[in-house]
């Protein structure tokens, strides 16, 4: 009996030793290395359009709770919805960019439910005066339209968010500077990296005053000095009234992070703090894909833009009919 036990132990030791000497599969390591510019900064230059993400809603549907990724069944529904847009008349026909089906539940990732925080009393008050052509209101003058309607600006953050069309984002670099160019409205931000302070508080603009720095391979851009005259989200892109009249204030601060995680992926993140409008900060995050062959087209916003005069004259005609009917009833 003792001999059998010794033999069994010897066999077990031999098997263990053989297993230890057998080469085990090694996890593949990425061979991609962050490229550098000739002056030593991480190289993130190129075309990074956001059009692939247009099918992802800004806010997460409430039914998803705190799930940030779609289930297989939910993804199948989104695939059908994106395909229906592609074959239908999405956003002015050929101009539309329905994107690709993504598993990301929403562009908003914080708060954890993927929903905008509640607005303050002042935010609610300001929202009542933020009008746009996407609203069913009377139009009397140009101030009844948002800054996108008037071909002025989308403002920040909306200029970096996926839209119905013209989603090109191009990044240029030079020693001490990064330039971000948007296809829609052809806006540019020239961002210094030399640790200079922000402009004085009295100097404000639609896109604010941006200052950048490198944290390892991540470009961090802090923007302040907003004028508070643009919307916080893209009007009309979701059809949600909640997202169509969200204001901003001059106190808004946005911190963006651009991290190139591989050759073809630039992870974009933006944390927004505006204590005048919102009761808490919020954050968006989504990948931008490298498309070197992407071509930016001229964005002739004013050419043939009859929407504003037509909506105003239409409203005036409707008001005239209403007044005439009231006179007849008296």
pLDDT in tens, 11-34: 444 444 444 443 444 445 678 999
Half-sphere exposure of 76 (CA within 13 A, CB side): 3
Structure tokens at 84: 């229906």
In a domain, 22, yes or no: no
Mark the ranges of the chain whose per-residue pLDDT is less than 50: 1-27, 238-241
At residue 84, the pLDDT reads 81
- Tens of pLDDT along 179-207? 999 999 999 999 999 999 999 999 999 99
The token pair at 227 is 């004028």
| Amino acid 238: pLDDT | 46
The torsion angle over the Cα atoms of residues 87, 292, 153 and 244, rounded to 10 degrees, is 40
Residue-level pLDDT at 198: 97
CA distances from 315 to 44, 307, 329 (A): 48, 12, 21
User: Is there a domain that residue 83 lies in?
Assistant: no
Q: Over the range 292-312, which residues count as b (16 or more CB within 10 Å of their CB) and which as e?
A: eebebeebebeeeeeebeebb
- On whether residue 69 sits in a domain, the answer given is no
| Cβ pair 219, 257 in contact under 8 A | yes
Structural domain harbouring 227: 118-294+302-312
Q: What is the pLDDT of residue 41?
A: 98
Cα–Cα distances in angstroms (integers) from residue 125 to residues 156, 169, 205, in the given order? 21, 33, 22
Q: pTM for the whole thing?
A: 0.85
Residue 262 lies inside a defined structural domain of this protein: yes
Q: In this structure, is residue 322 part of a structural domain?
A: no
Question: What whole-number distance in Å separates Cα of residue 194 and Cα of residue 78?
Answer: 44
- The domain total for the chain is 1
| 111 preceded by a cis bond (ω within 30 of 0) | yes
Helical residues (DSSP H) of 22-57, grouped into ranges: none
Distance from C-alpha of 261 to C-alpha of 257, rounded to nearest angstrom: 12
Give the closest residue to 233 by CA, choosing from 60, 66, 59, 53. Answer: 59
Residue 273 lies in a domain: yes
pLDDT at 17: 40
Q: Domain for residue 239, yes or no?
A: yes
Q: What is the pLDDT of residue 94?
A: 59
Contact call for residues 44 and 89 (beta carbons, < 8 A): no
Q: Are strands 188-192 and 253-262 parallel, antiparallel or unpaired?
A: unpaired
Positive or negative torsion for Cα 193, 196, 202, 203: negative
Q: Is residue 67 part of a domain?
A: no
């Amino acid at each position: 009996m003792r001999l059998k036990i010794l033999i069994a132990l010897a066999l077990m030791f031999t098997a263990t030793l053989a297993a230890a000497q057998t080469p085990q599969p090694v996890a593949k390591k990425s061979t991609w290395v962050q490229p550098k510019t000739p002056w030593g900064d991480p190289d993130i230059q190129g075309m990074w359009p956001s059009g692939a993400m247009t099918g992802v809603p800004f806010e997460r549907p409430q039914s998803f709770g705190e799930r940030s990724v779609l289930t297989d069944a939910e993804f199948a529904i989104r695939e059908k919805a994106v395909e229906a847009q592609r074959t239908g008349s999405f956003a002015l026909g050929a101009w539309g960019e329905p994107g690709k089906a993504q598993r990301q539940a929403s562009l908003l990732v914080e708060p954890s439910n993927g929903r905008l925080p509640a607005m303050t009393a002042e935010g609610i008050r300001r929202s009542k005066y933020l009008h746009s052509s996407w609203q069913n209101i009377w139009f009397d003058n140009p101030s009844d339209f948002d800054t996108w309607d008037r071909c002025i600006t989308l403002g920040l953050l909306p200029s970096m968010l996926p839209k119905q069309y013209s989603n090109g984002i191009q990044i240029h670099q030079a020693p001490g500077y990064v330039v971000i160019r948007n296809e829609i409205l052809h806006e540019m931000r020239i961002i210094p990296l030399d640790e200079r302070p922000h402009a004085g508080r009295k100097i404000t603009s639609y896109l604010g005053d941006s200052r950048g720095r490198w944290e390892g391979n991540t470009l961090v851009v802090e923007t302040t000095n907003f004028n508070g005259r643009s919307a916080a989200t893209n009007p009309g892109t979701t059809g949600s009234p909640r997202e169509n009249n969200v204001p901003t204030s001059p106190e808004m601060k946005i911190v963006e992070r651009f991290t190139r995680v591989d050759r073809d992926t630039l992870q974009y993140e933006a944390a927004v703090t505006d204590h005048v409008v919102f009761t808490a900060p919020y954050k968006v995050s989504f990948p931008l894909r490298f498309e070197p062959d992407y071509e930016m087209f001229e964005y002739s916003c004013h050419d043939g833009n009859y929407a504003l005069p037509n909506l105003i004259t239409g409203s005036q005609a409707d008001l005239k009919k209403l007044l005439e009917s009231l006179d007849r009833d008296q």
